[in-house]
Amino acid sequence: MTRTLIWFRDDLRTADHEALLTACQRAEGPGDVVALYVLDEVSPGVRPLGGAVKWWLHHALESLKADLAELGIPLLLRAGDPAKLLPALAQELGAEKVQWSRRYGGPERAADAGIKAALPEQRVEVESFNASLLHEPWTVETNTGGPYKVYTPFWKQISVRDPGAPVQRPTPLGPIADAEAALPTISEGAGNLEDWQLLPTRPDWAGGLRENWTPTETGGHARLSEFLNHQLEDYDDARDVPAGDNTSRISPYLRFGQLSPRQVWHAAHQETEEAVEKFLSEIGWREFCWHLLFHFPQLPHTNLRAQFDAYPWKTRDQAPEDFRAWAKGETGFPWVDAGQRQLWETGHMHNRVRMASASLLIKNLGIDWREGEAWFWDTLVDADAASNPANWQWVAGCGMDAAPYFRIFNPERQRERFDPRGHYVSAWIPELNTPDYPAPIVDLKASREEALEHYSQISGK
């Protein structure tokens, strides 16, 4: 018997999971494969999870446990430092192999490298797999051998490359009771999901999340099918319109690995709609963000264009009223306020509105992009370590392939263009056009001119 421990991270699914499949193919019966999830908020540099992500994680783990049980695989839960937990647990279980899906952030790679070096010392083999990207960062290079810093040529290269077909779900190994009976007695640790307190209670602000999402692997596939069958046809024309169901809304499922990019790619290529390529280019942008994080691990907290270090942005503590108005959706700009209220209620904001909201905070209110990124990190169900900071740096102009410094979204023009009948805004701001709705907190024209002056100074123009 060879017992394999599968360490799940951001790959909370059972289909298209090579680490899981290979272990099951090698197994002789129940108990030969054991799954593990570690809630790690203590490893050096690893960022604590935001509130909305914690809510999703709780339900994703509940769902994963049930799905694995159908395969005859127990899921163990632990909280703490994986560098200490994995070697100890592998020894207790008598595991000869530990397998996981690779991660691409700097702190995560460092943690994995340390564990990978330590486990062989106790005669435990380690094997890792790709589960989160179409193509891993070291497989995509420019003609000069470096990383892409501009999206268009990056997409041009990967859009014609075959990521391979998704692998199947494993065949069940046997009854879960037999698997649990086959395991040795092990220390419990922090093994109760309820004890992690991932769900909000006082107050319980997750009602809108429960109404809007099914945070399971099955829910992810259902959402993808719904989009491909009903929304894809009009995606090119309707994707920038936030009223209605016009986008895929699969980002949280990708963030938690309940859908794999390969599954999305394969399913989309079964469609004949012209809009498929535009949709897949959005998957490509996600891929680009992860490649940026791999090559520039300082992405979440440092301007990638160093000249922006001299930009006189304010912190939220230096502009508390402005930041609060922005976060609460009380800026007096309906387009932005609707988006912020949608975010708070559902854990999601339409991408077109995200860009305008970020632009207002950074370029009109003069608040540091990192403050907005941190707010989104805490409130978005799809907040991840790559796309969230990369998109904020894109809007700010300080990232790779960023928007030009002079591109400042006008929220009023955005509203007129993409919500001309007011369906989106009125859905989230019932007090609009009443005395209860606040006046604008900033002069768009004057603040735009001030931002352009600051940008001109740091760019040497």
User: Which residues are identified as catalytic?
Assistant: 282, 285, 313, 351, 369, 392
Give the integer Cα–Cα distance in Å for 359 and 410. Answer: 8
3-state secondary structure of 4: strand
Give the integer Cα–Cα distance in Å for 77 and 37. Answer: 5
**Strand segments (E) across 71-198:** 75-79, 97-101, 125-129
Kindly report the backbone phi and psi dihedral angles of residue 79, in degrees, each rounded to the nearest multiple of 5, phi listed first.
-125, 135
Tell whether 247 is in a known binding site.
yes
Tell whether 367 is in a known binding site.
no
> Which has the closest alpha carbon to 285: 178, 419, 399?
399
Nearest-5° angle of CA 430, CA 434, CA 437?
A: 75
Tell whether 148 is in a known binding site.
no
Q: Is the dihedral of CA 172, 173, 175, 177 positive or negative?
A: negative
Nearest-5° angle of CA 112, CA 118, CA 123?
A: 120
Tell whether 437 is in a known binding site.
no
Residue type (1 letter), 225: S
Tell whether 383 is in a known binding site.
yes
Tell whether 251 is in a known binding site.
yes
Tell whether 358 is in a known binding site.
no
Tell whether 322 is in a known binding site.
no
Q: Is the dihedral of CA 408, 411, 412, 416 positive or negative?
A: positive
Burial class (CB in 10 A: 0-12, 13-18, 19+), 143: exposed
Quickly count: other Cβ atoms within 10 Å of residue 324's Cβ.
11
Cβ–Cβ under 8 Å, residues 40 and 82: yes
The H or E element containing residue 416 is helix 411-418
Tell whether 161 is in a known binding site.
no
Tell whether 250 is in a known binding site.
yes
Widest CA span of the chain, in angstroms?
A: 73
Binding residues for FAD: 235, 247-251, 279, 382-384
Binding residues: 235, 247-251, 279, 382-384
